Each structure stands twice: as structure tokens, then as C-alpha cells.
Chain A
Amino acid sequence: MRLEKCWFCSSTIYPGHGIQFVRNDAKIFRFCRSKCHKNFKMKRNPRKVKWTKAYRRLHGKDMTQDSTFEFERKRNRPERYDRNLAENTLKAIKKIDKVRVDREARHHAMRMKGKKAMERKEAAKELEQSIHMVKAPAALQQEASLTLPKIKVKVSQEQSQENRMEE
């Protein structure tokens, strides 16, 4: 039993699922479900279809290079069954998955860094510029609580003295 990858969306194909299409040049395309198969028949390029792993990797949305991916490489040599080896492999798979998920979460956090600050800045700007869409300017002037707090600027006293001097 071997877990394959879907040619279109790169998800794993478990036994009993999906369709294999063999082209006349002996290239085999495996699909996990009819959605991927139909997209393939429509001749869509997976690198341009937003929800596929190919697109996400290409556009930097998901991790591309990581040492945890080395463990999932395709191996063609069958291993002699060894109970200890099988047990250790299962434990390792669990641990590697955890590490990989953590690293992906970190990659996502790095990607989304600064989003909150940018959102707040944009919201403040919109409030300043487009408040007239929500409340009429006349109403804003009447009720002091609706406007943003006015910043008081200190004007120096020396200027008024200068005027007196001129007179």
C-alpha cells in the first residue's frame, strides 16, 4: 500500500479513493477526487489555481524548503519488515508532524506580521476622511463627543508683546 499525491492539488490519496489516468506516453496522473480530475480535463494549470498546494508554494503562502520534507521523499527500495523499525517510524512520524505543523504556523505568523497595525492605520485614515458618509459635518460640530479629540497647540506669548511694541 502506498499513499500517493494528487497531481493537481498535492493532497494525499488514500487507498480506495480517486482515479488514475494513464496517458499514452505512459505518464500516470493520480487525482484525489473528481474536483481535481475535472479541473485537469479542463486543462487548468495547477500553478494558477488558487486552492492548490502548487500555487501556494509558488506564491510563498506555504513553506517551500524545510528539513521535515526530506522525510517524505519517495523511496523505491522495499524495507524488510522489522517490528522495532516500524514502531520507531510510527513514533517519529508523529513527532515530525508536530514539528512541521509548528514551523508552518510560524511561517504563517511571519507572513501576517504587521497586519494588525496596518489595519488600524487604515481604519483611522478612513475614519478621518470618510466620516461625512456616516454623519453630517454639521452634526459633528454640534456634538463634541463625535469628533476626534482636538490637539491643543501652545502658541508662544512673545508674539503679542511684539505687536504692542510696534504700536
Chain B
Amino acid sequence: MAASSASKLFRAGRSLLGGLKDPNGSIGLSKDLPRSYLFSQQQRTFIQMRTNLKVVDNSGAKRVMCIQALKGKRGARLGDTIVASVKEAQPGGKVKKGQVVYGVVVRAAMQRGRSDGSEIKFDDNAVVLVNKQGEPIGTRVFGPVPHELRKKKHVKILSLAQHIA
């Protein structure tokens, strides 16, 4: 995963450099700037259409692709609900591949501001599948979850969580 992310970054960096009109500048930049500079350039954004998310409950789905972010013009963030399509599922689960489901974003790589002024961010984008009423379909939740969910009234997910960040 690290290798793929590194190559993705390198490609992103390359495209950034390719956008520069000045040929000398682009060559100079690729030589002068170390690889680490490209790492810090990665800009994390919202969860929007076509975003792949990991499913962290035992509802049966493995990967899910966002179709629509309910609320939010630019996309969903930590704690928001999304409409998603199941792309990959375990054979004997409650959801099947190709099904349209709702989900709550429990981990987002984009930082979210807290009311005390600090910011929190996670390692990946993860979602917990939910029904129309907001109750989780699965019975377990894996990994850490933020306590932003309490304000959004997803208390059931918090109670199932192992660790609250």
C-alpha cells in the first residue's frame, strides 16, 4: 500500500511539474526537490463521487464506492453520511455486490477541525454501513472512531467501537 501510494504521489508530482510551462523550471524542480517534498504536497480532500472507502464493520461488504454525499456541496467529511454502491463483498454477508447502501464516514484522511481548535486526521477513508434510519447494519466496528459521531447522533456506532479517538 505504501509502494502504491508512493507511486501515486510521484505521478501526482510529475503531473504538477508537467503543468509548468517553463521547461528549465520543470527539469530543475525534479532534480532539486527531494522525493520527500512530494510527500508533503499531498492534499487530502473530501469524500465525493467515485471515492473508494473501506468498510469497517461486519455487514459483509469490503469496499464501497461513494455515489453521493448527502449534505455538503464539495463532498462528505468525517462524520457525514453518504450513499454508496457496494463494489466488493464477502460471499455470505448481509449486503451483496452492486447494492446501493447508506454509510457513515468514520475515518477520513482529510483533517477535520475540532471545537477546541485542534485538528484530527486518520490514516484512511473508512465507512460503516447504515440503514435509512441511521442504525448500523453490522454488529461490530473495527478500528478507531472519532467522537464527532456523538454530535451527529450515531451513538450506536460509538457503543460498538473498540477505540474512540
Are A24 and B40 interface neighbours, CB within 8 A?
A: no
Q: How many residues of B contact A (CB 8 A)?
A: 20
Given A41-B39, A42-B40, also A19-B111 (CB < 8 A): yes
A15 contact set on B, CB distance < 8 A: 116-118
Q: How far is the CA of A13 from the CA of B114 in the complex (A)?
A: 15
Binds A, one of B58-66, B67-75, B81-89, B119-127: B119-127
Q: How far is the CA of A24 from the CA of B124 in the complex (A)?
A: 8
Which B residue sits closest to A1, measured CB to CB? Answer: B116
Are A42 and B39 interface neighbours, CB within 8 A?
A: yes
Q: Is B13 an interface residue (CB 8 A)?
A: no
Interface string of B111-144 (1 = CB under 8 A from A): 1000011111111100000000000000000011
CB distance from B77 to the nearest CB of A (A): 15
Q: Is B162 an interface residue (CB 8 A)?
A: yes
Are B144 and A22 interface neighbours, CB within 8 A?
A: yes
B146 contact set on A, CB distance < 8 A: 22
Q: Is B36 an interface residue (CB 8 A)?
A: yes
Which A residue sits closest to B40, measured CB to CB? Answer: A38
Q: Is A16 an interface residue (CB 8 A)?
A: yes
Q: How far is the CA of A13 from the CA of B117 in the complex (A)?
A: 12
Q: Is B165 an interface residue (CB 8 A)?
A: yes
Are B143 and A24 interface neighbours, CB within 8 A?
A: yes
Q: How far is the CA of A15 from the CA of B117 in the complex (A)?
A: 7
B107 contact set on A, CB distance < 8 A: 22, 24
Interface string of A5-20 (1 = CB under 8 A from B): 0000000010111111
A24 contact set on B, CB distance < 8 A: 107, 122-124, 143-144
Q: How far is the CA of A28 from the CA of B123 in the complex (A)?
A: 11
A22 contact set on B, CB distance < 8 A: 107, 120-123, 144, 146, 165
Cross-chain contact of B119 among A1, A20, A23, A26 (Cβ < 8 A): A20
Q: Is A21 an interface residue (CB 8 A)?
A: yes
Are A19 and B121 interface neighbours, CB within 8 A?
A: yes
Q: How far is the CA of A38 from the CA of B41 in the complex (A)?
A: 10
Are A20 and B118 interface neighbours, CB within 8 A?
A: yes
Q: Is B153 an interface residue (CB 8 A)?
A: no
Are B118 and A16 interface neighbours, CB within 8 A?
A: yes
Are B122 and A18 interface neighbours, CB within 8 A?
A: no
Given A22-B144, A23-B123, A26-B144, also A16-B116 (CB < 8 A): yes
Cross-chain contact of A17 among B118, B143, B163 (Cβ < 8 A): B118
Are B165 and A26 interface neighbours, CB within 8 A?
A: yes
Which B residue sits closest to A42, measured CB to CB? Answer: B36
Given A16-B116, A26-B144, also A21-B121 (CB < 8 A): yes
Q: How far is the CA of A1 from the CA of B114 in the complex (A)?
A: 13
Smallest CB-CB A-B distances: 5 pairs? A16-B117, A26-B163, A26-B144, A22-B165, A42-B36
